[in-house]
Structure 1
Amino acid sequence: MKNFLLKLSLLCCMSGIQAASKYIRIETKSMDWIFKVADNQRLYQVYLGKKLYHKADLQQLSWQVKSSSDGSHPAIGHEVYPASGSEDLFEPAVAITHADGNQATFLYYKSHYSKAIDGGTETVISLADNQYPVEVILHVAAYTEENIIKTWSEIRHWEKRPVTLWRYGSCMLYFNSNRYYLTSYSGDWAREAQPQTEQLLPGKKIIDTRLGTRTNMMMNPFFELGFDHPARENEGTVMLGTIGWTGNFRLTFEVDNMGILRVIPAINPYASDYQLKAGDTFTTPEFIFTFSQDGIGQASRNLHAWARRYQVKDGMGNRMTLLNNWENTGFDFDQKSLAELMKDAKDLGLEMFLLDDGWFGNKHPRKDDRAGLGDWQPNRQKLPGGIGALTQAARTAGVKFGLWIEPEMVNPQSELYERHRDWIIEQSNRDAYLFRHQLVLDLSNPKVQDYVYGIVDRLLTENPDIAYFKWDCNSPITNAYSPWLKTHQGNLFIDYVRGLYTVLKRIQAKYPDLPMMLCSSGGARCDYEALKYFTEFWCSDNTDPFERLYIQWNMSKFFPVNTIAAHVTNLNRSANLKFRTDVSCMCRLGFDIDLKGLSPADYQFAKAATVRYQTLKPLILQGAQYRLLSPYESNHMSVDYVAPDFRKAVLFVYDLHPRFREPLGKVRLQGLDANKMYRIEEINLMPDKESTMECHEKVYSGDYLMKIGLNVLTAQQGSSHVFELTAE
């Protein structure tokens, strides 16, 4: 420790000669985040916002701060990573109880460097305490073209005994505006991502979750900030932010006494006083954000382009259309009936058949959701030929085969529960509270990590033709106690998530091309860390097309539509099949329906729509998305997708609940080339029906379509129209 302090003291003295007025600039094509090493060797944020184009202006940057009584150093500064116990009077980014019980930490600038990364530059900044052997490494990755910044921190120490972390922010952001408006998203099962907007006033606003696994069930880990007025789709200065953490998160928004907004994205410290051993590193989640001067729409497109290129697993790759059996059969199926469904999938033009829940368990057969979880052997009565017979049937039918699993969970009625109670998060001295008749496996335990990895590895080793997994997660962590961690229960919620990532990294290392869907009773899990290992997520069990449009509208603000799975079901039979299909076609299309039960006309429509979707899939899933008409601001909804070369576009229009004789305005498209001429064709028409739209098979300039628009809205509830635009 003495050697560390001596070295640190020398570093601080040396940097004191060089670092006064030193600026660290994080920049993208249109955004700057600028730090300054002050005379006291502390690091402060001096600017965050629209890009500054004159380097000389950097020398003028400084925050006006309230000084200490003798004026020697800032008492309320805008420290880049403030710690507890220092002179800052507000919520810290990091808080440490040292081995001697002291809860104060002061972080001083040591050094920084930058390195090239794919798509941009990563800046790495070292900070350290001058009294304790504690170091914080700040990482800031800036993606130039997409205008995205991703930031996280690493905390480590060399004290003689473990220290306790009780705050661990990914970063601290400061904003200086007249007013701040936060749009956050909440919900519950089947009503995910419901927005609410409020003005942030002095004090704290905290968005958090404490569920352990199904962490997005009630609050979502993403938000919009509007400056001076609420965030709007196509105008104004806005920020979109989201934290990549598949566990308990906490987003803190604090307006201080000077009217400055402080934002801290972090793991939730709830029940998580984390013991960190000497020499170990605590890595915080990545926080991703972007600014736009042109509203939410442009910020969304920033996120979409960045995510597809750099974050999402196989983000630029294909997504398979599929037929799922769940809404059709539930638990009631056998080997023969599944083989018939595979033929139906092929005949419809789909690429994959997905077998959902209910295929496993023998001593405790999976007949409902009360038994079998944890016992991942094919049920011999339903599937006498095992999974191998199903993959063979899929090959015969000409489709890929996908499989549902829920490997983090266990039913008390299971062989796993009977054999390994020590692997389960459960309090032995209390009656267990079961959520959906199940408990959660303790992924903080390396043996459990091996077991969960082994589920996937064994299935793929024995059945290499499995082409896809649907990974479900239906219970939060209840009865929170880890037999593995014993006296260090404050580590459970965090180490559980890290254990999950360990499993997912192992799967990805051995099976790098394996697509997987992230499901959690619908959309209770969706974040950019999980999407490093999953190609898509299931945003809601609510497939009523009217409700689903609202959910897809909101999810598309933060995630590209190639990550959003949308299936045609019978949840709302009052909506016609065309409307249900058109709603799903705006994301990754799938069907979860009894195809043989469709009328001849509906089946013919579904088949033709699937074939057309396959041709448009690259455009929809990889094109730039423009949200044109909000269901929150009208009785209609519309979006368009535009190809990178502007030669193709597709327009979706939905009439939800038009009022009697309401005026029907025109839909103005966005993103087109104003100088190109576009021929418009209405597609996804019912058999023997012709388009009644005046724009069908006509040619318009991109300029006309964006400034004047098209008469494509109707007064018919639950009607929809899809148009393909081709430049001539």
Structure 2
Amino acid sequence: GKVYGFNLVYSGNFLSQVEVSTFDMTRVMLGINPQNFSYCLSEGESFQSPEVVMAYSEDGLNGLSQVYHRFFKYRLMHGKYKNQERPILLNNWEATFFDFNEEKILHIAKKAKEVGAELFVLDDGWFGKRNDDYRGLGDWDANLEKLPQGIAGLSKKVEALGLKFGLWFEVEMVNMDSDLYRAHPDWMIATPGRFPSHARHQHVLDYSRKEVVDYIYGKMAKILRESSISYIKWDMNRYMSEPYSAALDAERQGEMMHRYILGVYDLYHRLTTEFPDVLFESCASGGARYDAGLMYYAPQTWCSDDSDAAERAKIQYGTSIAYPIVSIGSHVSQVPNQQLYRNTPLETRANMAYFGTFGYELDLNLLPEKEIEEVKKQIQFMKEYRKLIQIDGDFYRLRSPFKGNETAFMAVSPKKDQALAMYFQTLNHVNASWIRFKLKGLEEDRLYRVQADLSPCLERLENPVLHASFNLEKKSLDYQAYGSELMEVGIPISRDDLSRKGGDFASILFKIDAKS
């Protein structure tokens, strides 16, 4: 049906309201949240309010999403990575946490190069005395005990392996146990006379103050100038609390949170201007930082630290309603998952991560050789299809994880001659019927070839009990059907196919190609 969408291009506190009057008139209002907000203007001064992207579609939420996806990809994002495929990366966080040195990092990076990754990202723990999350935020100088030649030396060694190098920052935050806080305690957001609330043992720097932004810019720019860095992950892991600036008079405290966001934009603007070839990834976890305002500077966002494949079904489904797939940070992480201790098949973890930027967050050296070979195939597959998924294709949500046990995504090329569709079930069913997996976006009168690998997942093959329960001989799906058939009748999926794929948390990826 007919759908209207409204999206505020702003990264600060906001309010969205929809109300229907007694005369059956609907009014939509979006803008800066009025709670604790005020702004003093002197004669001749002006104030610029945030813009709203309004969209309309006659094709339901999928149609509305596609309007937003095209607008954000082709109009809002800018710079080198506008309309560009994203590099396949490996991030060391879940592989090492804070416990690493240069030798361990290079050992992980070498394996990443071996399987075909293109970018290695060093996460938290490389700076100051940052051996845990109690200390070090704000001290953006390399820990030379871990990295004897600093970031400059490590980055050049990673590039010598044939990989690009990326680096993690959380530059809006400070720990009280840091040289920065000890030198400038007034740079921390805190209300005088009240206990400053911490989250993850960290506090928020006052970006409404130009000197704070200038200081952080100087630290980041120095590292970027001295090192070979292609990617920055900009984390933001907590909300603002006790919003008071020591630099503002009492009557101007209502300006503080808006001025803070302007400070964030100023820092992004300076960095992206001086370093236009660096890919910036913002981060939503904790700070709710997934918005069109930041997407102008950072064309992708790490949408959640919850990297479990089953959880990601809802996370990525919901994010896709407004934001394009190319902006969704998505990784294959280790099992048991470090948030939920859940085991999901390696195949499913990759199938879910394909519908995003795609990468890995684990130590590949710990995987058995069979899984390493599977990872190589996954990376090869993503390199072949990422242009369709990330740049050219129209994205469809086919089944909602919020309404049942299944999730399904699909990407269709502009000429409707190629498509990828992913079906995922959360839990297996007993004595259930066949599934009719109905697609969208194809040409009704066009003949398509449908292919899927139905061979059992590695976890099935290596479990003798499960091996005896099913016919685990290699099997594939390969048949032809017209677009109308695939959309109205659907692809038949057998419950045995899903059981071979693991049963719980099983997934199947379908390739659809038009016949010439």
Query: TM-score normalized by structure 2?
Result: 0.90
Aligned amino acid, residue 243 of structure 2:
A
Hey, what's the Cα distance between the residues in 1 that align with 2:274 and 2:303?
Answer: 27
Alignment of 1:296 with 2:61, yes or no, is yes
Match of 2:231 in 1: 468
Once the two structures are TM-superposed, the CA of residue 713 in structure 1 deviates from its matched residue by 5.5
1:555-614 Cα shifts (integer Å, max 9, x gaps): 111111100011111214421211111111121111111212212222211111111111
Match of 1:673 in 2: 443
For 1:635, which of 401, 405, 427 is the aligned residue?
405
Once the two structures are TM-superposed, the CA of residue 691 in structure 1 deviates from its matched residue by 5.7
Hey, what's the Cα distance between the residues in 1 that align with 2:105 and 2:352?
Answer: 26
Match of 1:14 in 2: none
Aligned amino acid, residue 634 of structure 1:
G
Change (3 A) 1:526 1:638: same
Match of 1:360 in 2: 127
- SS of 2:26's partner is strand
Does structure 1 conserve the Cα–Cα contact (< 8 Å) formed by 2:166 and 2:233?
A: yes
1:400-420 Cα shifts (integer Å, max 9, x gaps): 100000111111111111111
Greater share of helix: 2
For 1:250, which of 9, 12, 15 is the aligned residue?
15
Once the two structures are TM-superposed, the CA of residue 674 in structure 1 deviates from its matched residue by 2.6
Does structure 1 conserve the Cα–Cα contact (< 8 Å) formed by 2:236 and 2:286?
A: no
Match of 1:287 in 2: 52
Alignment of 1:616 with 2:403, yes or no, is no
Aligned amino acid, residue 479 of structure 2:
K
Change (3 A) 1:308 1:713: farther
Aligned amino acid, residue 705 of structure 1:
L
For 1:269, which of 34, 38, 47 is the aligned residue?
34
- SS of 2:248's partner is coil
Structure 1 residues 112-123: aligned runs within 5 Å: none
Kindly indicate whether structure 1 or structure 2 has the higher relative contact order, using CA contacts under 8 Å at least 6 residues apart.
Answer: 2
1:368-391 Cα shifts (integer Å, max 9, x gaps): 111111110000110111012211
Alignment of 1:238 with 2:25, yes or no, is no
Alignment of 1:441 with 2:228, yes or no, is no
Aligned amino acid, residue 257 of structure 1:
T
- SS of 1:562's partner is helix
Hey, what's the Cα distance between the residues in 1 that align with 2:287 and 2:396?
Answer: 23
Aligned amino acid, residue 711 of structure 1:
P
Aligned amino acid, residue 591 of structure 1:
Y
Structure 1 residues 492-503: aligned runs within 5 Å: 492-503=256-267
Match of 2:368 in 1: 599
Does structure 2 conserve the Cα–Cα contact (< 8 Å) formed by 1:609 and 1:684?
A: no
Once the two structures are TM-superposed, the CA of residue 678 in structure 1 deviates from its matched residue by 1.9
Match of 1:725 in 2: 512
1:504-553 Cα shifts (integer Å, max 9, x gaps): 11112222232111114367210001000002111111111111101111
Structure 1 residues 97-176: aligned runs within 5 Å: none
Hey, what's the Cα distance between the residues in 2 that align with 1:718 and 1:272?
Answer: 46
Once the two structures are TM-superposed, the CA of residue 631 in structure 1 deviates from its matched residue by 2.1
Once the two structures are TM-superposed, the CA of residue 423 in structure 1 deviates from its matched residue by 2.1
Alignment of 1:479 with 2:242, yes or no, is yes
Does structure 2 conserve the Cα–Cα contact (< 8 Å) formed by 1:682 and 1:691?
A: no
Change (3 A) 1:608 1:684: farther
Does structure 2 conserve the Cα–Cα contact (< 8 Å) formed by 1:636 and 1:658?
A: no
Match of 1:225 in 2: none
Does structure 1 conserve the Cα–Cα contact (< 8 Å) formed by 2:138 and 2:179?
A: yes
Match of 2:117 in 1: 350
Change (3 A) 1:556 1:519: same
Structure 1 residues 387-398: aligned runs within 5 Å: 387-398=151-162
Change (3 A) 1:597 1:434: same
Once the two structures are TM-superposed, the CA of residue 499 in structure 1 deviates from its matched residue by 1.2
For 2:452, which of 682, 705, 714 is the aligned residue?
682
Alignment of 1:459 with 2:223, yes or no, is yes
1:212-262 Cα shifts (integer Å, max 9, x gaps): xxxxxxxxxxxxxxxxxxxxxxxx222222212111011122222212121
For 1:657, which of 418, 427, 436 is the aligned residue?
427
Does structure 2 conserve the Cα–Cα contact (< 8 Å) formed by 1:427 and 1:479?
A: yes
Structure 1 residues 190-205: aligned runs within 5 Å: none
Match of 2:84 in 1: 317
Hey, what's the Cα distance between the residues in 2 that align with 1:669 and 1:249?
Answer: 37
Once the two structures are TM-superposed, the CA of residue 303 in structure 1 deviates from its matched residue by 0.7
Once the two structures are TM-superposed, the CA of residue 356 in structure 1 deviates from its matched residue by 0.5
Aligned amino acid, residue 475 of structure 1:
R
Hey, what's the Cα distance between the residues in 2 that align with 1:492 and 1:556?
Answer: 32
Match of 1:574 in 2: 343
Match of 1:411 in 2: 175
Match of 1:204 in 2: none
Change (3 A) 1:269 1:612: same
Hey, what's the Cα distance between the residues in 2 that align with 1:271 and 1:277?
Answer: 20
Match of 1:704 in 2: 485
Aligned amino acid, residue 101 of structure 2:
D
1:656-693 Cα shifts (integer Å, max 9, x gaps): 22432233331111112233322222259657977645
Does structure 2 conserve the Cα–Cα contact (< 8 Å) formed by 1:605 and 1:684?
A: no
Does structure 2 conserve the Cα–Cα contact (< 8 Å) formed by 1:651 and 1:723?
A: yes
For 1:552, which of 316, 319, 325 is the aligned residue?
316
1:310-363 Cα shifts (integer Å, max 9, x gaps): 0124331121111111111000000111011111111121111111000000xx
Where in structure 1 are there 5+ consecutive unaligned residues? 1-235
Does structure 2 conserve the Cα–Cα contact (< 8 Å) formed by 1:666 and 1:713?
A: no
Alignment of 1:328 with 2:95, yes or no, is yes
For 1:584, which of 350, 353, 372 is the aligned residue?
353
Greater share of strand: 1
Does structure 2 conserve the Cα–Cα contact (< 8 Å) formed by 1:523 and 1:539?
A: no
Change (3 A) 1:289 1:690: farther
Change (3 A) 1:431 1:523: closer
Where in structure 2 are there 5+ consecutive unaligned residues? 462-471
Change (3 A) 1:457 1:374: same
Does structure 1 conserve the Cα–Cα contact (< 8 Å) formed by 2:197 and 2:241?
A: yes
Does structure 2 conserve the Cα–Cα contact (< 8 Å) formed by 1:522 and 1:538?
A: no
Hey, what's the Cα distance between the residues in 2 that align with 1:306 and 1:713?
Answer: 39
Aligned amino acid, residue 587 of structure 1:
G
Structure of higher CA gyration radius: 1
Aligned amino acid, residue 63 of structure 2:
Q
| Bigger Cα displacement from structure 2, 673-682 vs 564-573 | 673-682
For 1:647, which of 410, 417, 442 is the aligned residue?
417
Query: TM-score normalized by structure 1?
Result: 0.65
Hey, what's the Cα distance between the residues in 2 that align with 1:240 and 1:515?
Answer: 28
Aligned amino acid, residue 114 of structure 2:
D
